[in-house]
Structure 1
Amino acid sequence: MFEVFGDRLFNGLERMSPAAGMLLVAAPGMPSPDFARSVILIVEHDFQGTFGVALTERSDTAVHSVMPEWVDLIAKPQAVYVGGPVDPQAVVGLAVTRPEVDIAEHPELNRLANRLVHVDLNSTPASMAELLQGMRLFAGYCSWAPGQLNAEIERGDWFVTPALPSDVTAAGSVDLWGDVMRRQSQPLPLFATFPASIVES
């Protein structure tokens, strides 16, 4: 029942195409419990498939414990976030640049949206200090084979919307899924408090 509800809600809305720098917002009643109330930032999307990072789940691992050289650039809370179920040993760096930074002049930064970048973690943290206003590290990622994500969007599993820089560096106490839903056009704000799961009687 609730899966069908989510399908109908998202299928009735005007759709945007997935692209780097866009968010995937899970439908209310998302059939996969792993992605309930999830918000995923698309980092790459092309004919070879889609690569993205889930933004909402904080791990119990402190950045200082695993990558201490980056800790001074990390937004609070300074924890590693869970980027997705694929390859949890891989680390993805996302960041918000300072307003005056020209991203095109820095090849170690891959622009995703306004001031929002994918950071090359082979770069030197000290060289990033003057460029970045806040950063997050994500363990693992999400991926889709060619055509898979488009099929899930057509089915109504995901809503596509532009990302804001603050989506990546939001405080740990923020309900990001609810916040993203609230800034959409009606009727999505009405469902911003939809629970992650519902126990049927």
Structure 2
Amino acid sequence: MTVSTLTGSLLVATPLLDEPPFRRSVILLLDHDDDGALGVVVNRAADLSVGQVLPNWSSAVDEPGVLFMGGPVGTDSALAVAEVAASTDPPGWRECFGRIGLVDLDVPPALLEGAITRMRIFAGYAGWSSGQLEGEIAEGAWYVVESVTDDVFGHDPDTLWRRVLRRQNDQMAYLATYPDDPTQN
């Protein structure tokens, strides 16, 4: 079975997915193929500055300058997602889609200076084995929507879930007003 790639799309947690760590999460899919999928939760900023964990990279990341909780897998490792300037292919950068890719954090930051236009660092990631994500989408756990660069690097990650839903052209837009606690409705 050949899977149509969802790389570059956003997974937006539906209200049915109400358990941590994915409740109201927005995940950028960095890789998706027959073998499975890998992404990072882009709307979970941690209370830990990048400078505290990776001081060499603190000046390279965008505001708010904190580590993001990328997902429940491999939380002791870091993934750097970056946008590079047009027509550049800097050392230590691997394209995922368009101008968005992963940065090897072992590469000296000076080698990427001027090439990276925006960057965020994530502790951990979200991963799915072959067919697992497709099953979760079919069960109604995720909406799959188009991403825009500001989804990944925007300044207000806490409101991203609602903003992504609100810009949809169908009934998903109504879910942006879904109450935090439906029993209090």
Say whether the fold is shared (TM-score over 0.5): yes
Residue 194 of structure 1 pairs with residue 178 of structure 2: yes
The residue type equivalent to 1:23 in the other structure is L
> TM-score, normalised to structure 1's length?
0.82
- Whether 2:23 is the aligned partner of 1:32: answer no
How do 1:1-201 residues align onto structure 2 when only pairs under 5 Å count?
18-98=5-85, 101-103=86-88, 105-106=89-90, 108-172=92-156, 174-199=158-183
Q: Secondary structure of the residue that 1:199 maps to in structure 2?
A: helix
Q: Is the Cα–Cα contact under 8 Å of residues 37 and 128 in structure 2 kept in the other structure?
A: yes
Residue type at the aligned position of 1:75: D
Query: Number of aligned pairs?
Result: 182
- Offset of 1:163 from its aligned partner? 1.6
CA offsets per residue over residues 21-78 of structure 1, 9 Å max, x none? 1111111232434211110011111222211111111111111111011111111111
Q: Which moved more, 1:143-152 or 1:183-192?
A: 183-192
> How far did residue 195 of structure 1 move?
3.3
1:132 CA displacement: 1.2
SS at match of 2:21: helix
Structure 2: which amino acid aligns with 1:114? G
Counterpart AA for 2:140: G
Contact kept in structure 2, 1:23 and 1:40, CA below 8 Å: yes
Cα distance between partner residues in 1 of 2:168 and 2:8: 17
Instruction: Give the TM-score, by structure 2 length.
Output: 0.88
Distance 1:183-1:110 versus aligned 2 partners, 3 A rule: farther
Cα 1:147–1:114, aligned 2, differ >3 Å: closer, same or farther? same
- Between the aligned residues of both structures, percent identity stands at 35
Point out where structure 1 has 5 or more consecutive residues left out of the alignment.
Answer: 1-16
Gaps of 5+ in 2: none
Contact between 1:45 and 1:51, CA under 8 Å: does it hold in 2?
A: yes
Kept in 1, the 8 Å contact 2:69–2:124? The answer is: yes
In 2, distance between residues paired with 1:195 and 1:37? 11
Structure 1 CA distance for aligned equivalents of residues 115 and 6 of structure 2: 24
- How well do the aligned residues superpose, as a CA RMSD in angstroms? 2.0
Q: Is the 8 A contact 2:37 2:129 kept in 1?
A: yes
Contact preservation (8 Å) 1:96, 1:134: yes
Give secondary structure in 1 for the equivalent of 2:177: coil
Q: 1:78 to 1:191 in 2, by over 3 A?
A: same
Which ranges of 4 or more aligned residues in structure 1 deviate by more than 6 Å?
A: none
